[in-house]
Amino acid sequence: MRIFLAEDETAIAGFLKEGLEEEGFAVDLATNGREALEMAMANLNEYDIILLDWMMPGVSGIEICRNIRKENKAIPVIFLTAKDTVDDTVFGLEAGANDYLKKPFAFEELLARIRVLLRNKTGEQNIFESGNILLNAEAHQVTKNGQAVELTQKEFALLEYLLRNKGKVCRRTRIIEKIWDIHFDKDTSVIDVFINALRKKLDTKDRESFIQTIRGVGYRVNDN
């Protein structure tokens, strides 16, 4: 999942970005209003959720939210702000936000609200499987034949992405953008290291790998 974060307070921005990335999200960060507006509008369809600070230099979060809503009615938006009156909350929601979190807040609460909005956005399930492999996205757990398997954050994020797109070819460039939050034109070899790690931990000897290599394109997970 890819998150856009607009926050002008350096310490808060760094803390949130690091925490969200540790939870497996890819995070794009803007630290002023004009940069946030440009980045959000240029990549709007790439983001799964947007976190907006209300008061930023240049352009306010309210104005950014209104511009987002002109182009995309569905993407979830959460305001992060020190404004705390009922009128402020109503004003923010009427501008198009889905949720409103008052500073200071606990990171766990933000994470919970993000997950609720992501579930509501797609109505998607949180449990995915391929043969004897089962992934519970909400519990952040993977099992093989009912036994827990320990994965790193990136391994888990890669497996979740493949399973969410089961039956589809996941292109290497798309994987690197979604999971590593970087844009590679040619060299995406880092993916091979993590695919091999998943295969070692999750494949069984009596069948071919559940992750199919589509040569020159990417990978695909099928029902096995």
Domains of the chain: 2-122 (3.40.50.2300), 127-221 (1.10.10.10)
Buried b or exposed e, range 91-104, using 16+ CB within 10 angstroms: bbeebbbbbbbeee
Could you tell me which residue, 160 or 224, shows the higher pLDDT? 160
Could you tell me which residue, 5 or 127, shows the higher pLDDT? 5
Contacts of residue 36, defined as CB under 8 A and 6 or more positions apart, other chains included, come to 4, 6, 30, 52, 56, 59, 61, 64
Mean pLDDT of the residues in the chain: 86
Helix, strand, coil percent values for the chain (each to nearest 5): 45, 20, 35
Please say whether the beta carbons of 3 and 27 come within 8 A: yes
Asked whether residue 187 carries a pLDDT value surpassing 70, the answer given is no
Which token pair is 184?
């590679």
Q: Which of 189, 211, 83, 62 has the alpha carbon at shortest distance from 135?
A: 211
pLDDT band at residue 209, thresholds of 50, 70 and 90?
confident
What's the rounded Cα separation, in Å, for the pair 101 and 21? 20
Asked whether residue 196 carries a pLDDT value surpassing 90, the answer given is yes
Region 147-173: mean pLDDT is 90
Please say whether the beta carbons of 64 and 40 come within 8 A: yes
Which pairing describes strands 49-53 and 2-6: parallel, antiparallel, or unpaired? parallel
Looking up tokens 């091979």, which residue turns up? 192
Asked whether residue 125 carries a pLDDT value surpassing 80, the answer given is no
What's the rounded Cα separation, in Å, for the pair 2 and 216? 25
Asked whether residue 219 carries a pLDDT value surpassing 90, the answer given is yes
Strand order in the sheet with 26-30: 26-30, 2-6, 49-53, 77-81, 99-102
Neighbours of 61 (CB within 10 A): 27
Of these ranges, 53-67, 164-178, 183-197, 203-217, the one predicted with the greatest mean pLDDT is 53-67
Could you tell me which residue, 179 or 160, shows the higher pLDDT? 160
Q: pLDDT digit string (tens) for 64-103? A: 999 999 988 889 999 998 877 788 888 888 888 899 888 8
Which token pair is 35?
């940069």
What's the rounded Cα separation, in Å, for the pair 211 and 224? 10
pLDDT band at residue 122, thresholds of 50, 70 and 90?
low
pLDDT at 6: 95
pLDDT band at residue 14, thresholds of 50, 70 and 90?
very high
pLDDT at 181: 65
Contacts of residue 32, defined as CB under 8 A and 6 or more positions apart, other chains included, come to 8, 56, 57, 58
Region 33-55: mean pLDDT is 90
Q: Which residues pair with residue 6 across a beta bridge?
A: 30, 52
Please say whether the beta carbons of 134 and 143 come within 8 A: yes
What's the rounded Cα separation, in Å, for the pair 169 and 103? 41
pLDDT at 15: 93
pLDDT at 164: 86
Could you tell me which residue, 74 or 32, shows the higher pLDDT? 32
